[in-house]
Structure 1
């Protein structure tokens, strides 16, 4: 079976499991990860010891440390990074430098000398001063690695038993209603102004959709499949809406900002693929958001000088539609473009063997191929839309009531026909019309959710908090809430810490699952800010080269060791 980006195996024979599926031996990537994890633990312990035994009189560089904690990055010449402005970032990882470290290189020594003086290299060479200063970053790396080890233990070992899934419509609805009541009663908050589609509202939107999405997977609630398809389309819609809004308002097409987006979308999933030997496409939401983020970036970044001209924005959106028609509606074109990337985008379910490795990518991405453009369009007309709502709010009470009632009635009629003609279709038939109709319920929800200032002012913080960690909860659900048990397997079983007590087990496992998801969200952002500076391209290039070189060196070393020693033992 295809193993995607994590297909770094050196084993050829696989013993059978209880379900008849053969598990793979540890791959080179997995062994490399565990070796790196052990090495980072050693560096972290040494850093803790050095900081614990350090005397106050030895703190001759207190000012430098203070500046580092304030996240100021400087280049080798001692000038402020970027275009003459100070760059804010998190504490640099072992791959970054402090002002003192960059002095070793100097501008005249070039990139290689700068790389050699980085904290990554200095930590690898056991430079105690560098190790001591990197304590916060080493803590984050150790915690992240520990959570990845928990992924492996929970999903790929028999230490924690598994249980089967069972669906109860009553329980499914009950859980969502209870959580919503708690959110309304305990987390209702207001924003400063009744802004259309304010961030807190979109986070809330993502949150309650994610709850239903996760419950759908946990209980295998097949009867709400069509609703889940709409929720996924709404996520992609937000990709178009959010990215367009940012680029259109800021014109910030910097490599650093784009790199931060890619890190946010793919850092966790990369390590999940390596540690669990899964394909990238197992977590199809990640490549979908990645490709549509890239397309929004390209649409506005190419000829960005024209973005202030409305006609050109509409032309660009038209070109996006044409590109979608060419890339997805002409299937041979899609396969011709993506075939060279089968190693990355290919996927075969080991429980349902087939031979078309790109089918999953084609199917998943084609379902929502238009909705991101609708998101861009909504972001483009956002000012006009906001002015319409403001004018309605300013109308006399009687007229305002009539206008709002008319809009609500119109939404009801459209929603009724959409529901009776589209939503109730069987799964296969619905999927055929979904790309062309998903914008209808999304638009109706936006209109109704923002109809009055009161609705725009209030949001549910609990759902908003969950909405911030949707990516992490999506990935974590496969391995520490449910179980896949095999590489590239779908989560067909549930994690069962309390066998025989399904509801208590659900509560306990869910609490741990949400906690881990939140920690991974925090750690991803911490390491992102440390490794991917926004405005210092020189530092960004250096960090990327260092991480790539370190990864390749670690992989090749592990690969050689496994072939030279482990194979001889076996």
Structure 2
């Protein structure tokens, strides 16, 4: 197995940090296993004495007695000479600390192991490659087959968010938006896997829908919950950027290589900043209208006024670096495509209760009037969808990109209307798609390192089973989804450990400690690599 590129200081620093964590985790696991085994081997009278004693509160003398197999070292002068009480106390304290953090150490070790697996897939030649071959018939067949499979997992949304019995199911409920993300993400990954360039404009709309949800979801949370705490904000940034940050370090990638992550981060910051400013007045409709208008003015100023974009973003060149020259152009293109849609999401979120009341009144009207209104809405939506597809979506890529920022709200709005046209539609969701929707961030990032392989010029398909592309697809997809789901769970576990809710002091202490450890490891790694180069040259 050969490594494609020389090891970087970031990769070495990760390794220097991961190895101790792995050792501590194994040590804690073995320590607990040995203690439990010794506890089972104790005489019954000793077990009775220890039955009501919590493991974490056993005294040092009791632990020494336990580890000695029931022979008290403290009562032996020879034992006192052989084992210093201070050393015993120090070792016991360390072991207790590690055992108390067993869940965190286990999560960190598993998270790091998955990153190493991605490194092996992406940065070594252990696995082969297939060339991407796009066939529309196979592409559509696989997606339709998947939707048929997903339809067997349908479920109904209960009235979990409705305080009044008999009230209609909320439109755009949580399950529905997760389902929406799920079926889009499957097409998104298939688009990259097969190289389906003919649906590029459709994929642009999917990305816009994700950004729309950023505005919709963040506005809904901050407007309703009114939780602008730094802990909550840090947890949100952790969710968006933890995996991508480690991928950049371990795989020697640029942040902009995963452009959806910086886009979500930027637009989340915008929503948070505008809603937090004078947030005690957010109940006033005029204030919300002014804030949304201010968001629009800021975006117009940055993106529409020549020269302003470069002035605003040039200090962040180190984050926006790509293989393109100048790097800021890629960020201008990516973020510019969806610069307005997050504001549309905020507007939809603000009027969400109003629309819900309209739908409730509509469901209470007579059958004939209700059917007539819904038929009119469906007709308008279908006509609008046809016009958008014929005169916008079918344009060539460069021309379509010019219209996209101003038209992406059309297909998104059409989908929302049709998806919520009846009570039955609103209440029925597909469980498999909901599950996939919850791990879209992980599946997006990991597709480039588990499903695909970069040969320096273009993307190819990672080959685990040579000469069997469809069997290879099944296996790599299973690995991709399993790893994505596990990293999703691990991200949340580590979030609770490092960013505890309602504890600002611990949050600050953890941030300072993490920064100090990271800088120390990076400096040590840089020094070791620099010395190795000097020795190799001499």
Structure-2 residue corresponding to 1:69: none
CA distance in 1, matches of 2:108, 2:401: 41
CA distance in 1, matches of 2:374, 2:57: 59
Equivalences for residues 522-561 of structure 1 within 5 A? 522-561=489-528
Matched, 1:184 2:151: yes
8 A contact 2:104–2:494 mirrored in 1:
yes
Matched, 1:504 2:471: yes
Deviates more, 1:208-217 or 1:495-504: 495-504
Structure-2 residue corresponding to 1:26: 7
Structure-2 residue corresponding to 1:383: 353
Structure-2 residue corresponding to 1:325: 300
Shift of 1:62: 4.3
8 A contact 1:273–1:280 mirrored in 2:
yes
* TM-score for both structures, normalised by structure 2: 0.87
Deviates more, 1:30-39 or 1:188-197: 188-197
Equivalences for residues 86-235 of structure 1 within 5 A? 127-192=94-159, 194-235=169-210
Structure-1 residue corresponding to 2:212: 237
Q: Structure 2 stretches of 5 or more lacking a match? A: 40-49, 59-89, 160-167
Structure-1 residue corresponding to 2:35: 54
Q: What do the CA deviations read for 1:272-295 (whole angstroms, capped 9, x no partner)? A: 000010000000000000000000
> What SS is found at the alignment partner of 2:152?
helix
CA distance in 2, matches of 1:450, 1:385: 11
Query: Which structure shows the bigger proportion of residues in helix conformation?
Result: 2
Of 239, 246, 254, the match for 2:221: 246
CA distance in 2, matches of 1:563, 1:59: 56
User: How many correspondences in the alignment?
Assistant: 485
Shift of 1:61: 4.5
Equivalences for residues 358-397 of structure 1 within 5 A? 358-397=328-367
Q: What do the CA deviations read for 1:133-164 (whole angstroms, capped 9, x no partner)? A: 11111111111111000001011111111111
8 A contact 1:248–1:300 mirrored in 2:
yes
Q: What do the CA deviations read for 1:256-309 (whole angstroms, capped 9, x no partner)? A: 000000000000000000001000000000000000000000110011011000
Matched, 1:346 2:346: no
CA change 1:389–1:276 in 2 (3 A) is same
Matched, 1:281 2:248: no
Of 279, 302, 320, the match for 1:304: 279
Structure-2 residue corresponding to 1:43: 24
CA distance in 2, matches of 1:343, 1:547: 21
Shift of 1:330: 2.4
CA distance in 1, matches of 2:93, 2:240: 32
Shift of 1:569: 3.4
Structure-1 residue corresponding to 2:483: 516
Shift of 1:126: 8.6
Structure-1 residue corresponding to 2:164: none
Structure-2 residue corresponding to 1:469: 439
CA distance in 2, matches of 1:384, 1:132: 52
8 A contact 2:443–2:484 mirrored in 1:
yes
- The Cα RMSD (Å) is 2.0
Q: What do the CA deviations read for 1:446-488 (whole angstroms, capped 9, x no partner)? A: 01100111001000010110000000000000001111256xx
Shift of 1:23: 5.1
Equivalences for residues 335-484 of structure 1 within 5 A? 335-348=310-323, 354-484=324-454
8 A contact 2:154–2:428 mirrored in 1:
no
Shift of 1:34: 1.4
Deviates more, 1:387-396 or 1:409-418: 409-418
Q: What do the CA deviations read for 1:314-366 (whole angstroms, capped 9, x no partner)? A: 11000000000111122411111111111111211xxxxx5211111110000
8 A contact 2:302–2:308 mirrored in 1:
yes
8 A contact 1:189–1:458 mirrored in 2:
yes
Determine which structure has more spread, i.e. the larger CA radius of gyration: 2
Structure-2 residue corresponding to 1:96: none
CA distance in 1, matches of 2:135, 2:181: 24
CA distance in 2, matches of 1:408, 1:263: 40
CA distance in 2, matches of 1:191, 1:170: 38
* TM-score for both structures, normalised by structure 1: 0.82
Structure-2 residue corresponding to 1:567: 534
> What SS is found at the alignment partner of 1:36?
helix
> What SS is found at the alignment partner of 1:495?
strand
8 A contact 2:215–2:344 mirrored in 1:
yes
Deviates more, 1:213-222 or 1:560-569: 560-569
CA distance in 1, matches of 2:51, 2:526: 42
Q: Structure 1 stretches of 5 or more lacking a match? A: 1-16, 66-121, 349-353
